[in-house]
Structure formats: structure tokens, C-alpha cells
Amino acid sequence: MSKEMLEAFRVLEEEKHIDKNDIIDAVTESLKSAYKRRYGQSESCEVEFNEKTGDFQVYSVREVVEEVFDSRLEISLADALKISSAYELGDKIRFEESVKEFGRVAAQSAKQTIMEKMRRQMREITYNEYKEHEGEIMTGTVERFDQRFIYVNLGSLEAQLSHQDQIPGEAFKSHDRIEVYVYKVENNPRGVNVFVSRSHPGFIKRIMEQEIPEVFDGTVEIMSLAREAGDRTKVAVRSHNSNVDAIGTIVGRGGANIKKVVGKFHPVRLDPKTGLEVPVEENIDVIQWEEDPAEFIYNAIAPAEVDYVIFDDENSKHATVVVPDSKLSLAIGRRGQNVRLAAHLTGYRIDIKSASEYEAMAADLDEEAEETAVENLTADIESSADDSAEELSTETQ
């Protein structure tokens, strides 16, 4: 049995990564607990583990006293002297207990403790393993579906792909191999939850790093990215090499790099009319990142032209963008998409105004300012006249 115990320790330590000392502590505590359950107390109980034989020994410790009140805790001097003539009052004597009398209960308790430790340990290992992949792309297999998630097998667990994390319209079947972006890993008492996405902006960013060498090595840096999955993405880039054009590098000759990026995740949707799967066209706009906020916003509104970018004095993250009347709908975009993506990309709240609308608004402000100035001037004149009349009245008196 002792050899089996040592072998079990080895297996748990090497294969399940559970420290041998943790197991010894669990068995020790279980033996003490079983001893207490049998004898009503555990103050006198000591447990030792023999590293060579793999045996656990349980001892009850009794104090040598003149008169015994509790035989589990004490032994009379007369009885102690029968064991050894060297014993004196106050000495502690250890008596080995038979583990068989309460070992079965202890073994069951130890098993439960070890299993719980094993579950916690494995949960921690799994959590650390996937936490390292947070913010990265992983490949998995579609396993099953329910009303909330598609469950994607990543190897040692099933990740959760929610409806909002899917590219709208794309469809999957069981056993499909798909790439997903790991954006959150949680560790809780019920297990490790890994949340993945195909609609997250980080998904596109990581694919660009995979497919475009200049992005991977840092020559061209992706500064920000805004995405409405399955439809349109805006990505702001800059080059750290004056000889490398950031936009041209991302787009590639004849759009080759962009095609590789979109082709990497090749989203498809089910056409309700034909019942066939068709590609989901996701347009990617690449713009030049600028440190100057006005220039960055100017670029972000593309393909529309911009006349002015005006910042709010009271709110540093609010900007009004003035565009030619003929470009207003283009600047706003279908259902407001262009300005919405530009706002996410730049981090500014953006209001779009046509040139004529802005001129009318400016004229109203000028007229209001003039009226205010006239009112202030009139008030000053009246106040001055009142002061003069008061002075004249005083002199007359």
C-alpha cells in the first residue's frame, strides 16, 4: 500500500501538477478530522508521514499527571513508569494509534479534499494557459449551439462565441474549423470561461499582423481601428520608416494585402433568396494617422471632403466638422455609419454640419452677438446718464 501511495503522489504531481506537500497536508488534516470524529477531540493527535515508506502514522499524545481526568489526554505517573522509569510528571508520551479504526473515513475525506485541490489546480492551469492568449487569435472547432452561444472547442475547453461577437449573417456547422479572437478570460468557481469574437476590431488587427510583414515587424503601426463587422472597417496607420508609405503598405499592390486580410476570415452569409452561402463583403478604409487632432479627424471623415474642424472650448473631446453641402450625405454615411466609425476611430464626438448650415448658424451667432453688444452699450449709456443726473442734483443742493 505504501508503494502505491508514493506512486499516486508521483502521478498527481507530474500529470496533474498538484504539489506532493499539498496532498500530504490534505491526508494529514483528514486523519486528524477522522480522529476527532471518533474520539471527540484532536488536541492530542499528531500525524507523521514517512517519506521513505510512504506510511502515515497517527499518535495520541498524553501528559504524565498525578491523577487522570481524561484518558485521551493524560496518563498517570504510575502507568507511565511501567513504560519507562525515566518518565516524570509533565512529560509527554506518544502512543501510536491504529489507522484502520478511522482510516476509511479519513481516506474518503482526503479523497474529497484532494479532488477539490485538483479541480482548483487544473482550473488555475487552464486559466493561465488561456489568459496568455487574451488579445490573440486561436483556431478552434465548432462543437455545439444553444440560444446564447456557439461553443468553440479550443483544445482543453469550449470557448463561448455570442451572437454579437459573430459577423452578421455568417453561418457555421458542427465541426467547422474557424478562427476566433480571445478578448476575455474569466476564472470562477464553476470553471474557466473564455469569450471569443469574430466581430471585435482586434480580430482584424491581428490578421493584419499575420498577413502583412511590415505590420508584424512594427515598421507600420496600427494606431486605432473602428469596425462594424461584416460591413465596414476604418483603420488608422502610421509608418516609422520615412521610406515606407503606411497606407500603400496596408492596401498592397492592387489591393492585394487587403484582399488577403479579408480572405483570411472569409465570412459568408446565407442568402435567403437562393439558399446559398455567399461572401460577406467587408470594406476596409485605410487612413493616415496624424498627431494633430484636426488633421486626424479630417482624414477619418474620408472619403468625404472637409472644410473645417472646429473644437468645442467647453468639451475638449467634441468637434464640429463642416463639409461642402454636396458632401454632407457622404460624410454622414449610410445610417450614420461613416461619422460613427470616424468618431470611434478618433475618440472624439463628431457633429457634421453642411457649409450652408454652418454659415447660417454663424450668422445667427453674429447677429446675437451684435444685439448683445448694442444692449450692453445702451445699458452703459443709461447708467452714465443716471450717474450724471445724480451728480448735478447733488451740486444744485
The pLDDT assigned to 385 comes to: 47
State yes or no: pLDDT of 294 exceeds 90.
Answer: yes
Q: What percent of the chain has pLDDT over 90?
A: 49
Total residues found in the chain within this entry: 397
Between 11 and 242, whose confidence is greater? 242
Q: List the beta bridge partners of residue 140.
A: 178
Same domain, 111 and 146: no
Highest-scoring range by mean pLDDT, 159-173, 211-225, 252-266: 211-225
The answer to the question of residue 304 being in a domain is yes
The answer to the question of residue 258 being in a domain is no
Mean pLDDT on 260-282: 74
The pLDDT assigned to 380 comes to: 54
Mean pLDDT on 312-319: 88
Same domain, 35 and 141: no
Q: Which domain holds residue 188?
A: 133-197
Same domain, 105 and 162: no
The answer to the question of residue 96 being in a domain is yes
Same domain, 157 and 47: no
Contact 173, 220 (CB under 8 A): no
Q: How many domains does the chain have?
A: 3
Same domain, 118 and 143: no
Same domain, 174 and 161: yes
Give the CA-trace dihedral at 249, 253, 256, 258, to 10 degrees: 40
Among 13, 81, 17, 70, smallest CA distance to 39 is for: 70
The answer to the question of residue 209 being in a domain is no
The answer to the question of residue 372 being in a domain is yes
Same domain, 39 and 87: yes
State yes or no: pLDDT of 387 exceeds 60.
Answer: no
| DSSP secondary structure letter of residue 334 | G
The pLDDT assigned to 100 comes to: 72
Between 191 and 350, whose confidence is greater? 350
Last residue of a domain, one of 86, 110, 128: 128
Same domain, 105 and 141: no
CATH of the domain at 149: 2.40.50.140
The pLDDT assigned to 168 comes to: 83
Same domain, 328 and 391: yes
The pLDDT assigned to 370 comes to: 47
Phi, then psi, of 136 in degrees rounded to 5 = -125, 170
Query: Tens of pLDDT along 364-377?
Result: 555 554 455 435 54
State yes or no: pLDDT of 1 exceeds 50.
Answer: no
CATH of the domain at 352: 3.30.300.20
Buried/exposed code over 301-330 (b: 16+ C-beta within 10 A; e: otherwise): bbebebeebeeeeeeeeebbbbbeeebbeb
Between 290 and 72, whose confidence is greater? 290
- Measured N-to-C along each axis, helices 2-15 and 20-39 cross at an angle, to the nearest 10 degrees, of 130
State yes or no: pLDDT of 210 exceeds 50.
Answer: yes
The answer to the question of residue 45 being in a domain is yes
CATH of the domain at 103: 3.30.1480.10
- Measured N-to-C along each axis, helices 337-346 and 293-300 cross at an angle, to the nearest 10 degrees, of 150
The DSSP line for 313-325 is SS-TTEEEEEE-G
Last residue of a domain, one of 197, 232, 247: 197
Same domain, 147 and 119: no
Phi, then psi, of 245 in degrees rounded to 5 = -85, 120
The DSSP line for 2-53 is HHHHHHHHHHHHHHS---HHHHHHHHHHHHHHHHHHHHS--TTEEEEE-TTT
Last residue of a domain, one of 197, 225, 248: 197
The pLDDT assigned to 21 comes to: 84
Query: Tens of pLDDT along 218-255?
Result: 999 999 999 999 889 999 999 999 999 999 999 999 99
Query: Tens of pLDDT along 94-119?
Result: 988 877 766 677 777 777 777 777 78
Same domain, 8 and 118: yes
Mean pLDDT, all residues of the chain: 84
The answer to the question of residue 273 being in a domain is no
Between 363 and 214, whose confidence is greater? 214
Please give the Cα distance from 48 to 251 (Å, whole number): 70
State yes or no: pLDDT of 4 exceeds 90.
Answer: no
Contacts of 228 (CB under 8 A, 6+ apart): 337, 340, 341
Between 7 and 212, whose confidence is greater? 212
Phi, then psi, of 19 in degrees rounded to 5 = -60, 135
Same domain, 186 and 99: no
Band (pLDDT 50/70/90 cuts) for residue 282 is confident
The answer to the question of residue 243 being in a domain is no
- Let me know the angle formed at the C-alpha of 377 by 373 and 381, rounded to the nearest 5 degrees: 170
Please give the Cα distance from 43 to 48 (Å, whole number): 15
